[in-house]
Structure 1
Amino acid sequence: MDFHKLSVGEKVFKVINYLIIIALCLSIILPFLNIIALAFNPGKDAEKGGIFFWPRIWSLDNFKHAFQAASIGVAFKISIFRTVVGTIASVLLSAMAAYALKSKTLPGGRFFMMMIFFTMLFGGGTIPFYMLLKSIHLTDTIWVYIIPSLYSAWNLIVFRTFFQQIHASLEESARIDGYNDMQIFMKIIMPLSRPVMAVIALFTAVGHWNDWFTGAFFVRKESLRPLSTLLQEMLMSAEAMRDTLNQAAGTRYDLLLKIQITSNSLKMATIVIVVTPIILIYPFVQRYFAKGVMIGSMKE
């Protein structure tokens, strides 16, 4: 509708909406631009202040320091492997389980859904979870990143809700044509479920890529540390080194002036390294979000 044809109240409402949306966008974009500026600026110079959305001195020292770890190449491979394999396996298995649970003829279906929902409200705790992983020999293996996260109660519920919106006549027609359950799922349900699968896949991939907790607490082998865990350890080491130097240097500011990388600048570079792959992937699935956000909003 033409803006000029709107009433005064409608114009005011639209203007206020646009201002709120612009303010929300700026609240997200401007802090990230500041992070990028600090990441590409020498840390010692950044401590003087005055850097907002553009580096005062362009430098790659922060990134060189982040990538100088000998095991960072292996960490990248571990992160890529767990993200790709974990996301594909989790989305496929969760979708299959949700397809079975959405059936009204499934014996005990209501009980299973109640138990799945129960896991969203209560957890066993970190120590019992570690003892369970150790008893089934998953600790210190690459599969500790994948197998425990194959199923998510939230993902199951979202998948089930979406599948329930697909008209039952499609399945009935397929069964008349001789399709079994697996054929119906692979050839009918999955093609119609691309929006929800893309959304769940992105959320799952982000969770795998950003997860540093599993590598820090359930893996002791250096060769199995993912990128996020390695960068987290480097960041903690940098902060500890800064505190040590501040205590040891005392009034000898010449020692501190030689250090161009600070814990804060390394933190900003770490954020850019971790976030960049997700930002590069997001445009390819963004078109599904408009459909995926409507999941569960309509009922026949």
Structure 2
Amino acid sequence: MSAGERAFKIVNYLLIIALCLSIILPFLNILALSFNPGKDAERGGIFFWPRIWSLENFEKVFQASNIGTAFAISVFRTFVGTIASVFLTAMAAYALKSKSLPGGKFFMMLIFFTMLFSGGIIPYYMLLKSIHLTNTIWVYIIPSLYSAWNLIIIRTFFQQIHPSLEESARIDGYNDFTIFMRIIMPLSRPVIAVIGLFNAVGHWNDWFTGAFYIREASLRPLSTLLQEMLMSAEAMRDTLSQAAGAKYEMLEKIQITGNSLKMATIIVVVAPIIIIYPFVQKYFAKGIMIGSMKE
């Protein structure tokens, strides 16, 4: 390599290292604060290692009486919603990839239109209520079955598969569904893994649906429950802080509701995704690149 190429390579490595540190160091700080007692964390000075190891923040998080039910609902909606969404979106993408589909370009234009404009929250709520989805567990799954962005990525990936594979399968007597299941889907594991990860993360982290479209506390997912618990704790702390004034001894009892509890909540929410991601990481870059380019 020439001197310029070596310098360019060094700069690239330095930028990559800086980017990695900008991601890793804040996460280590979150982890340290989550394992440090709230009263001690208020003193500051905790960066990447807890000053005092403690699980009291996580105990506070798991004290909620219905956290088991909320966790089960999150697992159910993530598992069922991800599988159903990926399968149905892939089926739609397989149909729309065909150049011989009547009105295919028109349908794609309509799908793309939904990415640019929406009806708003109030009309959306009225629609969900009119079809009796509000306050049911299916409000987490049915409205999110299709995503225009995911459909476009999968469709573009399917278009890269050589048509001769389908032609030979049809000569052997395969119908469209058999071709889709036995040829297209096995060859599309990278993009399926990526879209599956997108869906799973979206379902697991979604607190908005449970907060706005669900009235029954027993139907709220884990992310909504933790968000409500954190807001309630902070509201209580603000109220008691105003009432206590400068009396620190009264505030000592509620210091756990500060940053440490926030960080423990973040860890509880992101931990399952961190555990799952390494299993699909090898497909991630490949699926995105192939699904976003067309020759």
RMSD of aligned alpha carbons: 1.0
Q: How does 1:136-151 map to 2 (within 5 A)?
A: 136-151=131-146
Q: CA deviation at 1:174?
A: 0.2
Q: How far apart are the structure 2 equivalents of 1:65 and 1:258?
A: 13
1:118 aligns with 2:126: no
Q: CA deviation at 1:260?
A: 4.2
Report what 1:107 is aligned to.
102
Q: CA deviation at 1:224?
A: 0.2
- 2:154–2:191: 8 Å Cα contact kept in structure 1? yes
Q: After the TM superposition, which of the residue ranges 252-261 and 130-139 deviates more from structure 2? A: 252-261
Q: Percent identity?
A: 81
Report what 1:258 is aligned to.
253
Q: CA deviation at 1:290?
A: 3.0
Report what 2:4 is aligned to.
9
Report what 1:225 is aligned to.
220
1:75 aligns with 2:70: yes
Q: How does 1:1-300 map to 2 (within 5 A)?
A: 6-296=1-291, 299-300=294-295
Q: Deviation per CA, 1:61-108, whole angstroms, max 9, x where unpaired? A: 111011100010000000000000000000000000000000111111
Q: CA deviation at 1:293?
A: 2.7
- 2:42–2:255: 8 Å Cα contact kept in structure 1? no
Q: Deviation per CA, 1:89-148, whole angstroms, max 9, x where unpaired? A: 000000000000001111111110000000000000000000000000000000000000
Q: CA deviation at 1:265?
A: 1.4
Q: How far apart are the structure 2 equivalents of 1:36 and 1:49?
A: 15
Q: In structure 2, what residue type is equivalent to 1:153?
A: A
Q: How far apart are the structure 1 equivalents of 2:293 and 2:194?
A: 18
- 1:37–1:54: 8 Å Cα contact kept in structure 2? yes
- 1:44–1:262: 8 Å Cα contact kept in structure 2? no
- 2:61–2:226: 8 Å Cα contact kept in structure 1? yes
Q: How far apart are the structure 1 equivalents of 2:219 and 2:254?
A: 31
Q: How far apart are the structure 1 equivalents of 2:100 and 2:70?
A: 46
Q: CA deviation at 1:262?
A: 2.5
Q: CA deviation at 1:289?
A: 1.5
Q: CA deviation at 1:296?
A: 4.4
SS in 2 for 1:51: coil
Q: Deviation per CA, 1:255-278, whole angstroms, max 9, x where unpaired? A: 112334023211110000000000
| TM-score with structure 1 setting the length | 0.96
- 2:136–2:214: 8 Å Cα contact kept in structure 1? yes
Q: How many residue pairs were aligned? A: 295
Q: Deviation per CA, 1:6-30, whole angstroms, max 9, x where unpaired? A: 2111110100000000000000000
- 1:117–1:153: 8 Å Cα contact kept in structure 2? yes
Q: How far apart are the structure 1 equivalents of 2:125 and 2:266?
A: 28
SS in 2 for 1:187: helix
After TM superposition, the runs of 4+ consecutive aligned structure 1 residues lying more than 6 A away are: none
Q: How far apart are the structure 1 equivalents of 2:241 and 2:285?
A: 51
Q: How far apart are the structure 1 equivalents of 2:159 and 2:190?
A: 15
Q: After the TM superposition, which of the residue ranges 285-294 and 270-279 deviates more from structure 2? A: 285-294
Report what 1:3 is aligned to.
none
CA spacing shift, 1:252–1:101, aligned 2, 3 Å = same
